[in-house]
C-alpha cells in the first residue's frame, strides 16, 4: 500500500509546484537565465556594439527579381559586354534628361568585391552617386536554389523556407522586441513599431509577398500593421477616428482586460512583476491588441500632425528614362515610410517595409520580372524611381542615414545572358543592398565573372561558392545592427548562419555578421 503524502509542504516546494502548474496552464515565468526583454543581447555574448544601436529600418522589396548586371554589379566602363547582353539598349536610354539636379560623373566605380574585382554601378542608380550615400552603402552577394517567386520571396524576406514555423519578417522581430520592452516596464504601446505598406491597387498574386507581415512563432502582438498605400489611404484615416464607437463600449472592454489581468494575480508568493501579476504570453497578446484599438486616435494623430502631416496624396510622376506618366505608388510608399521612421519619442516607429510594384509593370509582372519586352527601360525606369526618391529624402533631411538603414531586397537576380528580349530568373547569384546605419562602403561576397581568368562560361554570374551569403545571414545581420539578438528561439538558430561551426557562440556569430555582412 502506498504511503499517503504529507499535507505539509515547505514554502520553497510550494512555490516550485505552483510555478509548474502555471507553466502547465500555458503561462510562463521569467527566468534569471534570460533577459526580461525579448531580443536583448545577453551579457554572456560579450561586446557586440560599444554603444547600443538606436536604428530604424526602411526595407524596400524590389518585386520581381532585379537584374544586377545593369544596376548594382556592372562591369567597368570599356569592358567587353559591360551590361551582359544589353549594352546597346542601356546606351540608348535618355538618362541625361532624367533630372538636371543629378550632375554626377558619368563613371560609376563603387568598390572591389571579395575577390578583388572592381564592381561598378549602372546608370539607373545615378541618384545614389553622392559620397554621403555611397560611403554608407554595401552590396551583399547572396544565392539560393529557388526559381519560383512563390518560394524565393518568403525565403529572401524572412531567411526561412516555406513550411518553417519560424517564417517571419523583420518587422515581427522588431515589433516583438520593443513591445516586450514596453510590457516589461508598463502598459503596451498605443501604436505599432512596425509597418508594412502594400499598394492598394495591386492584387497580390500567389507569390507570397504576404511574408513581409508574417510573424511565424512570434506572439500575436508582434504583427506589423499593414497599411494599403494609394488613393484610398486618406479614407483609412477616417476609420481611425472610430466614429460611432461610444465611450461605454471602450470602458466595457477595458473592464474585461482589467478583470483578466486581476485573475493572473496570485499574491506575494508568485509576485513575479512589480504589480504581482504572473506573466502570460496569451494575455500579453490580448492586452497589446486591445491597446492598439484604444490607440487608433494616436495613430491618427501621428499621420495628421498639424503643420507636418504624413504625405498621403498619391502622386502622378513621369517615368525616366522611359516616356510616360504613371501613378507613383512606390514613391508614395517610400515617402510615407520615411515620414513614419523620422518620428521621435519612446513609441516612434522602428521598421517600415514597402513593396515596390513599379511605376511600369514588367512583362512577367511586378516591377522587375522582365522575361521579355522592354527589359532595359522597365528595369532602369523602375529602379531609377526608387533611387531618385531615396536621394530626395536624404537631401531633404527626412531620411537620416546615420539613424536609418535602407534595405533593398529582391527575391533573386536575372540570368547573366539574354533570354530573347529579357532575362529569366537567376537565384544562383544576386545582390541585396544596405545603405545607412553602421554599414561601410564595400561589397560583401563576390559574383563570378566570365571575363576573369579561370572562370568557366558555366560559372559566369554565379555567386562564388566560398564568398557569398544566405538570406538568413542578411536578416540576422540586420537584427544585429538593430541591437536585437537574432538567436532567440523565435528567430534563427546557429546552423542557419552560413559561416557557423560546431563551436560558434552567439556572440561570435553576431560579431561575424557585423563585420562580414555589414562591414561595420
Question: What's the average model confidence in pLDDT over 15-28?
Answer: 34
Residue 19: pLDDT band (50, 70, 90) is very low
Residue 24 has pLDDT above 50, yes or no: no
**Topology classification of domain 39-232+318-517:** Alkaline Phosphatase, subunit A (3.40.720)
Cell representation of residue 458: 558555366
Question: What's the average model confidence in pLDDT over 306-311?
Answer: 89
- pLDDT value at residue 201: 82
Residue 13 has pLDDT above 60, yes or no: no
Residue 218 has pLDDT above 50, yes or no: yes
Residue 272 has pLDDT above 50, yes or no: no
* Helix/strand/coil for 450: coil
Alpha-carbon distance of 472 to 491, in angstroms, equals: 10
Alpha-carbon distance of 36 to 311, in angstroms, equals: 37
- pLDDT value at residue 106: 66
**Per-residue pLDDT reduced to its tens digit, 55-102:** 999 999 999 999 999 999 999 988 889 999 999 999 999 988 887 777
Alpha-carbon distance of 316 to 231, in angstroms, equals: 11
Of residues 297 and 491, the one with the higher pLDDT is: 491
Report percent pLDDT > 70 for the chain.
Answer: 90
- pLDDT value at residue 275: 52
Residue 287: pLDDT band (50, 70, 90) is confident
- pLDDT value at residue 30: 35
Lowest mean per-residue pLDDT among 114-118, 168-172, 267-271, 293-297? 267-271
Residue 288: pLDDT band (50, 70, 90) is confident
Of residues 160 and 189, the one with the higher pLDDT is: 160
Report percent pLDDT > 90 for the chain.
Answer: 65
Alpha-carbon distance of 120 to 130, in angstroms, equals: 14
Beta strands per DSSP E along 393-511: 404-409, 413-414, 425-426, 430-436, 442-444
- pLDDT value at residue 28: 34
Q: Taking Cα atoms as reference points, which of 173, 110, 138 lies closest to residue 408?
A: 138
Strands 413-414 and 316-318: unpaired
Give me the residue label for grid cell 511586378.
366
Q: Are the C-beta atoms of 222 and 215 separated by less than 8 Å?
A: yes
Question: What's the average model confidence in pLDDT over 157-172?
Answer: 97
Residue 143: pLDDT band (50, 70, 90) is very high
> Would you say the C-alpha torsion 428, 429, 430, 433 has a positive or negative sign?
positive
Question: What's the average model confidence in pLDDT over 163-179?
Answer: 97
What are the residue boundaries of the structural domains of the chain, listed by start? 39-232+318-517, 235-313
Q: What's the mean per-residue pLDDT of the chain?
A: 88
CA distances from 298 to 26, 177, 295, 348 (A): 32, 21, 5, 11
**pTM (2 d.p.):** 0.89
Q: Taking Cα atoms as reference points, which of 457, 486, 353, 447 lies closest to residue 407?
A: 353
**Per-residue pLDDT reduced to its tens digit, 102-126:** 766 666 899 999 999 999 999 999 9
Amino acid at each position: 500500500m502506498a504511503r499517503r503524502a504529507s499535507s505539509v509542504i515547505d514554502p520553497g516546494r510550494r512555490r516550485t509546484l505552483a510555478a509548474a502548474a502555471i507553466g502547465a496552464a500555458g503561462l510562463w515565468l521569467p527566468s534569471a537565465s534570460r533577459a526580461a526583454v525579448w531580443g536583448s543581447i545577453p551579457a554572456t555574448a560579450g561586446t557586440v556594439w560599444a554603444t547600443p544601436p538606436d536604428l530604424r529600418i526602411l526595407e524596400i522589396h524590389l518585386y520581381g527579381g532585379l537584374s544586377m548586371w545593369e544596376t548594382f554589379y556592372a562591369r567597368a566602363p570599356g569592358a567587353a559586354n559591360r551590361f551582359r547582353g544589353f549594352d546597346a539598349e542601356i546606351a540608348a536610354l535618355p538618362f541625361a534628361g532624367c533630372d538636371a539636379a543629378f550632375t554626377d560623373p558619368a563613371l560609376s566605380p563603387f568598390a572591389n568585391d571579395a575577390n578583388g574585382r572592381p564592381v561598378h554601378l549602372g546608370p539607373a542608380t545615378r541618384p545614389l552617386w553622392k559620397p554621403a550615400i555611397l560611403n554608407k552603402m554595401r552590396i551583399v552577394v547572396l544565392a539560393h536554389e529557388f526559381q519560383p517567386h512563390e518560394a524565393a520571396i518568403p525565403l529572401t524576406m524572412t531567411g526561412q523556407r516555406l513550411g518553417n514555423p519560424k517564417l517571419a519578417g523583420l518587422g515581427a522581430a522588431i515589433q516583438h522586441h520593443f513591445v516586450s520592452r514596453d510590457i516589461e516596464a508598463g502598459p503596451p504601446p498605443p501604436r505599432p513599431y512596425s509597418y508594412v505598406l502594400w499598394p492598394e491597387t495591386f492584387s497580390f498574386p500567389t507569390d507570397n509577398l504576404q511574408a513581409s507581415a508574417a510573424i511565424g512563432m512570434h506572439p500575436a502582438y508582434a504583427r506589423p500593421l499593414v497599411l494599403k498605400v494609394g488613393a484610398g489611404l486618406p479614407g483609412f484615416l477616417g476609420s481611425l477616428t472610430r466614429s460611432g464607437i461610444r465611450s461605454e463600449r471602450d470602458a466595457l472592454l477595458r473592464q474585461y482586460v482589467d478583470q483578466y489581468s486581476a485573475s493572473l494575480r496570485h499574491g506575494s508568493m508568485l509576485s513575479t512583476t512589480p504589480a504581482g501579476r504572473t506573466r502570460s504570453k496569451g494575455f500579453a497578446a490580448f492586452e497589446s491588441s486591445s491597446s492598439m484599438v484604444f490607440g487608433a486616435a494616436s495613430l491618427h494623430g501621428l499621420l495628421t500632425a498639424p503643420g507636418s502631416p504624413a504625405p498621403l496624396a498619391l502622386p502622378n510622376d513621369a517615368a525616366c528614362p522611359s516616356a510616360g506618366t504613371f501613378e507613383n505608388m512606390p514613391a508614395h510608399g517610400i515617402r510615407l515610410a520615411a515620414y513614419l521612421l523620422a518620428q521621435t519619442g519612446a513609441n516612434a516607429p522602428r521598421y517600415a517595409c514597402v513593396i515596390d510594384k513599379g511605376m511600369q509593370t514588367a512583362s512577367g509582372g511586378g516591377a522587375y520580372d522582365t522575361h521579355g519586352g522592354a527589359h532595359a527601360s522597365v528595369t532602369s525606369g523602375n529602379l531609377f524611381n526608387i533611387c531618385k526618391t531615396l536621394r530626395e529624402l536624404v537631401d531633404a533631411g527626412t531620411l537620416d542615414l546615420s539613424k536609418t538603414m535602407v534595405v533593398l531586397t529582391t527575391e533573386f537576380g536575372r540570368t547573366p545572358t539574354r533570354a530573347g528580349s529579357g532575362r529569366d530568373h537567376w537565384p544562383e547569384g544576386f545582390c541585396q543592398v544596405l545603405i545607412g546605419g553602421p554599414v561601410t562602403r564595400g561589397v560583401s561576397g563576390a559574383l563570378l565573372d566570365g571575363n576573369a581568368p579561370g572562370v568557366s562560361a558555366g560559372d559566369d554570374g554565379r555567386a562564388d561558392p566560398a564568398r557569398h551569403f544566405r538570406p538568413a545571414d542578411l536578416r540576422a545581420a540586420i537584427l544585429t545592427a538593430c541591437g536585437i539578438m537574432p538567436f532567440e528561439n523565435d528567430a534563427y538558430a546557429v546552423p542557419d548562419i552560413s559561416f557557423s561551426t560546431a563551436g560558434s557562440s552567439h556572440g561570435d556569430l553576431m560579431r561575424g555578421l557585423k563585420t562580414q555582412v555589414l562591414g561595420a
